Every structure is written in structure tokens, then in C-alpha cells.
Amino acid sequence: MESELQPVFDEDRQLDGAPRSLYDPLLEALEGLDLIALQESVAEGLRDRGVTFGSCPFVVDPVPRLITGAEWRRIEAGLVQRTRALNRFLIDAYGPQRAVAEGILSRGTVEDAEGFEAELVGRLPPQRWPAAIIGFDLVRDLAGEFLILEDNVRTPSGYAYALAAREALQEALQGALPREGWPVPRPVDPATFELLAGVMRAAGRPGAPPGSVAVLTDGPDNVAYYEHARAAERLGAILATPDQLDVVGERLGVRLSDGSVEPVGVVYRRTDEDRAYDERGELTDVAAVLLPAWLAGNLGLVNAFGNGLADDKLVHGHVEDFIRFYLEEEPLLRSVPTSHVASEPEVTIARARGHHRQPRPARRKAAPWPRRQGGGHRSACAGGGSGAPGAGAGAPSRGLHQPAVDHPVPASDGDRRAASAAARGSAPVRLRRSPGVADAGRPPAGSPSIPARWW
């Protein structure tokens, strides 16, 4: 059965093929450029920065995507609202389950979700933001309205790649485009990492002994390792693998190169394994070292265990209900409409009806689909540029393009004040400098960055 082609929103051109007014100056300026040479220049800039996706080059379309200030303010407000509601739901789902009791969603929708960890019900330490960082997937509908396709709340990635792509593109375009007459991009660095540091400070447990921040990675084999290393570098945090962590009673430490053990107060989890318990109900290797200190209230996690529940596709269909239930507000951004199909044949039929609907497995427990782990993917590079992993976030979309947007986002001074306020009253967490690193590894003067260590 062949799918019927559906019309899609074209970000840079109207239905008659004429450029949209926002893109007109940019497209006119690009007409005089060799776009192949521009793409090669961007690729070279990314290589020079050491940006890879696993062992593959990170491929970026050199034509920027333009979002107006007015569009962004609406997106920003909607993502902040959605973040608040998702966090309220996660706390409720592992606590009193008011949403279930009030009929907002069924008990089966929660308990049968593959990401739901029943062993954590009633055991979570007090926390306001179990999902402090969320990677929302956004698409446009035919009218150009932004919709939420997915809520990625486990161990999302993407911001360091977006910043690197932006830097490389701006560098390649410098001097090639006129200084006036086309949109000037809004600075997002160092604001992004300032917000990230605020999240780590806010994650420190009140009353817990002080400790350092550790970025937990699988190591260079993880496809998003570039981002792990970059985050540690800019935070001045310790970059460590799970086998370098030590459990001392109900405290967590990390073994340093000199044999000493550094106390850890916050762990920024970026490993592929995102669950606390495996299919047999046994602790995963990552949880075995993190859970004792976390449940005892001596360790902050970004993000918390158990968040996979909110990644479930059936739960996704209720997020607008969560906004109304927990926040008593109307949603500012709509979700992509979700239909529940219960079997693989129904998925096949739904897919055949048109590519404007994207069937995704709800990942119920004992579902026939293989599980996707949260942190990253290990895969070989595809031959040719089109199959290699990369960022289309710089390009006008032809269809339902899915740029990842992380929150907290570098949006405004108000956001930075909010992050600073959230950090007040939390346990002291050291974002530490690393001695003995050559100055060549340091970021430009004036940046809050500090080099990372690999222990």
C-alpha cells in the first residue's frame, strides 16, 4: 500500500515558490556564493573544533534556519510551561499519583510504560526538577505552527553540537555576507553553559556535604562523547566513567589519577544506560553506584532515574492535560496529535496513510520493538554525506524537520536570574578548576570556561 504524499510547510518559500520575507535578504546574499565551498568551509571548521558524532564527521547544512524573536518568545514560553508540567507529572507518578486518581490518564498507561520504574515509587528523594534538562523535538504543521513531536527527558543531548555548528557557520559566513540587511544571530554562548552551571548548582542536595560535579560518560565510544567532554570542560567538572566511581557508605566519590577519592555532590548523567533497574528487576551497573547516595539525599542527579516514563508515546499524548491539571493553565504549544494503535499491523496501516503522521512504538512493557537507550547510539558512518549523522538545524526544512531544542535554553536575562534563584539554598557544589592544563586548551578570555580533566 503506497502512502499518499501530503503537502508540507516550507520554511523559506511560500506556496508560489517566492521567498518568505524573512528569508529574502539571506537567500539573495547566498545567491552569489559557492554553496559547495561554503559547506566544505563549515565542515572544515567543525573538524578543526574536534566535533564528531562517534567516529563520523558532524554534517551541517550551511543555509541557516531563521526564527524571529516573536516566534522564539512563544516557543520559549511554551517549553518552559511544558517543562514545569512534565516535572510535576514525574514527581506525582512516583509519589501520590494524583493524575491517575483524577482520571487524567489510566493506571495502565503509567504502569505498563517501559520507562516506568515501579521500584522507585515512594522512594524518590525530595526534588523539584527530576527532568532539569529536556530535549524537545519540534516540527511545523502545514500552517507553520510549531508543535511538540517528542519530550526527551532521560539523558538528552544536542546543545554543544548546535553551538559548534553555529560557530563554524558564522565563521564561514564572515566576510561573505553583507554586514547589514540580513538577520544578525542572537548570542547564545556563554549563556548556554551559564544556565547549565546553574542547573548543576540547583541539583545539589540541601544539607548534603559539599562535593564536585562529575559528568558521567561511557567514554570515547559514546557517539555524543564530544558533548560530554565539552560540557565538562566548560563547567570545570570531572569527566568520569562509571568504573571510576566509588561508593563509600551513602556517599559517592570519584577516583583521581593520584589515587585519591574526590567527593561528588552532583552527577550529570550522560551514559547510554539510563535506567535504574533492568528487565529482571536488578540494578543496572550505573544505578549500583549512583542509587545509594541519591536515595539517601547525598547526591543530586541531572537527570533523575525514572524519567523514561515521560518519554512514553502514550504519556506524550497527555502532556497538554498535565498542563491544565498541574498548572491550571492552557497549553501555549500543542503536541503533535497522538493516536493509539495497539499492534504492528495497525502501525503499518497508519504509516501507509501518509508520512504526515509518524507512527512510533509506545514501548509498552513486553513490547515487540527493541528498546532505544537514552544516551546515544553506536553506529558506523554511512557512506556519502547524506547518510552521515549531522545537523539539519541550520537549514530550512522540507517537510517535518525535527530540530532538537534543549531546555534550559539561552533565552533571556530573566532565565539567567531564574537559574540563579533556583541555585540559592542548595548544597554547595564545587565547579572546580583543573590544575596543570596547558593554556592552549583554555577558551577565550572572558569566558567562564575551565578545562576538563579525564581521570
Please tell me whether residue 135 adopts helix, strand or coil conformation: strand
422 Cβ contact partners less than 8 Å away, ≥ 6 residues apart? 128, 129, 198, 202
107 Cβ contact partners less than 8 Å away, ≥ 6 residues apart? 97, 100
Residue 365's pLDDT is: 62
Calculate the alpha carbon distances from 198 to 38, 214, 270, 362, 425 in Å: 36, 14, 18, 33, 12
Give per-10-residue mean pLDDT for the chain (455 aa). 65 88 86 90 94 91 88 96 98 98 96 95 92 95 93 95 93 78 78 96 87 96 96 97 94 94 97 94 96 95 97 94 98 89 67 57 49 43 42 32 30 34 39 31 30 28
**Whole-prediction pTM:** 0.79
Residue 4's pLDDT is: 55
User: Which phi and psi angles does 431 have, rounded to 5°?
Assistant: -95, 100
Q: What is the DSSP letter of 267?
A: E
Calculate the alpha carbon distances from 136 to 173, 311, 351 in Å: 28, 10, 23
Return d(Cα 52, Cα 390) in angstroms, integer.
Answer: 9
- For every residue of 30-46, DSSP letters joined together read HTTS-HHHHHHHHHHHH
